[in-house]
């Protein structure tokens, strides 16, 4: 029986893959990620029936092969969880209570790297728990992750850390053919919109300003210039005193004069 072997990702090919993912998504891959890149791109090589990484990377660069999107999807890391880094949801909850008292419009929150959606649905659940009318825009560059986010259907084990009351209010347990799965309740679906969006895109669509932006565990992959540009953009996308929540290992908003710390890895936009 013939054994199918995949060629090893060579140094030059790894360097090219790193350049391309930096160009398309702003993601800076460190040089010890060669085996990860090898493994992830091997699946794409097989899917395309190609024999070498050189051919594959050629295809990625030739539009309209459609492979650029799959290449980006393959190299993103979508690790996430419901109510990950819970302090941000506590902060959002207290802001939502104030919003409900003071404003006549829905609270607008942008989940800007939503991965498979758990973060966006946690935001929607938080607004509902505060009885605050809300709109959640959830975006990600990765089209496959975004599809999962939009579907809002999760294996039960992914929801096991949720408190029973939250589980009951936010998700419906599947039965019969869907047993072992939980789906997000229609009331939450009605609050959320999903859209592919590259945070490195030079053109940002005109958007009504947000009361809060979650940008967690994504800017860590970007270089300083890209982080600075992102902050400029966020400054124009937030309402005064709007909240910017970043990931546990990130502090880049502290470098911008218009962002003031207002909690653990949380910043407030203070114009002027
Ligand atoms: C580690 S996950 C973080 C998910 C979630 N924010 C959290 O903290 O649990 C990083 C996400 O950023 C997305 N991403 C990477 N580069 C991006 C870019 N240039 N624009 C938008 N999303 C990007 C990836 O597709 C991935 O889903």
Query: Are 179 and 260 members of one domain?
Result: yes
Q: What is the pLDDT of residue 31?
A: 93
Contacts made by residues 163-171, CB under 8 angstroms, sequence distance 24+: 166/83, 166/125, 166/129, 169/125, 169/128, 169/129, 170/121, 170/124, 170/125, 170/128
Query: Are 18 and 118 members of one domain?
Result: no
Best substitution site from 20, 111, 115, 194 to test ligand 1's pocket, by max atoms within 8 Å of Cβ? 115
Output the average pLDDT for the chain. Answer: 95
Q: What is the pLDDT of residue 201?
A: 96
CATH code (residue 219): 3.40.50.150
Does residue 3 form part of some domain? no
Q: Could you confirm whether 105 is annotated as catalytic? A: no
Domain of residue 259: give its range: 87-269
Domain boundary residue among 48, 75, 102?
A: 75
CATH code (residue 34): 1.10.155.10
Query: Are 136 and 192 members of one domain?
Result: yes
Query: Are 51 and 118 members of one domain?
Result: no
Give the pLDDT confidence of 20-44 residue by residue, as tens digits.
Answer: 999 999 999 999 999 999 999 999 9
Atom of ligand 1 nearest to the CA of 73: 25
Best substitution site from 68, 71, 140 to test ligand 1's pocket, by max atoms within 8 Å of Cβ? 140
Ligand 1 center to 234 CA (angstroms): 16
Per-residue pLDDT, averaged over 139-149, amounts to 98
Query: Are 175 and 131 members of one domain?
Result: yes
Domain count, the chain: 2
Give the pLDDT confidence of 161-170 residue by residue, as tens digits.
Answer: 999 999 999 9
Residue whose CA is closest, atom 9 of ligand 1? 80
Query: Are 43 and 142 members of one domain?
Result: no
Does residue 147 form part of some domain? yes
Domain boundary residue among 50, 75, 100?
A: 75
Residue whose CA is closest, atom 26 of ligand 1? 78
Query: Are 34 and 124 members of one domain?
Result: no
Q: What is the pLDDT of residue 7?
A: 80
Ligand 1 center to 223 CA (angstroms): 15
Query: Are 119 and 245 members of one domain?
Result: yes
Per-residue pLDDT, averaged over 75-88, amounts to 97
State the Cα–Cα distance between residues 195 and 106, nearest whole angstrom.
19
State the Cα–Cα distance between residues 102 and 169, nearest whole angstrom.
25
Query: Are 159 and 221 members of one domain?
Result: yes
Q: Could you confirm whether 31 is annotated as catalytic? A: no
Q: What is the pLDDT of residue 113?
A: 98
Query: 167 to each of 17, 109, 116, 164, 206, how far by Cα in Å?
Result: 41, 21, 18, 5, 35
Domain boundary residue among 75, 105, 128?
A: 75
């Amino acid at each position: 029986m013939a054994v199918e072997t995949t060629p090893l990702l060579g140094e030059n090919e790894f360097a090219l893959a790193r350049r391309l993912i930096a160009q398309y998504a702003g993601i800076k891959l460190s040089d010890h990620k060669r085996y990860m890149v090898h493994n992830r791109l091997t699946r794409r090589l097989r899917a395309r029936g190609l024999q070498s990484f050189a051919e594959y990377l050629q295809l990625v660069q030739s539009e309209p092969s459609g492979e650029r999107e799959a290449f980006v999807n393959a190299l993103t890391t979508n690790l996430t969880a419901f109510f990950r880094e819970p302090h941000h949801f506590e902060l959002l909850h207290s802001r939502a209570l104030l919003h409900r008292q003071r404003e006549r419009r829905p609270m607008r929150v942008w989940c800007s790297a939503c991965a498979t959606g758990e973060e966006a649905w946690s935001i929607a659940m938080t607004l509902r728990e505060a009885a605050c009318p809300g709109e959640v825009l959830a975006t990600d560059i990765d089209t496959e992750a975004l599809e999962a986010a939009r579907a809002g259907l999760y294996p039960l084990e992914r929801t096991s850390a949720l408190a029973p009351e939250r589980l009951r209010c936010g998700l419906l347990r599947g039965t019969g053919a869907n047993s072992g799965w939980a789906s997000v309740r229609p009331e939450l679906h009605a609050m959320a919109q999903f859209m592919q969006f590259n945070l490195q895109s030079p053109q940002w669509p005109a958007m009504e300003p947000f009361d809060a932006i979650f940008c967690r565990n994504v800017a860590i992959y970007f270089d300083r210039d890209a982080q600075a540009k992102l902050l400029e953009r966020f400054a124009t996308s937030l309402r005064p005193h709007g909240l910017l929540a970043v990931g546990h290992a990130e502090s880049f908003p502290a470098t911008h004069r218009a962002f003031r710390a207002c909690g653990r890895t949380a910043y407030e936009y203070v114009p002027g």
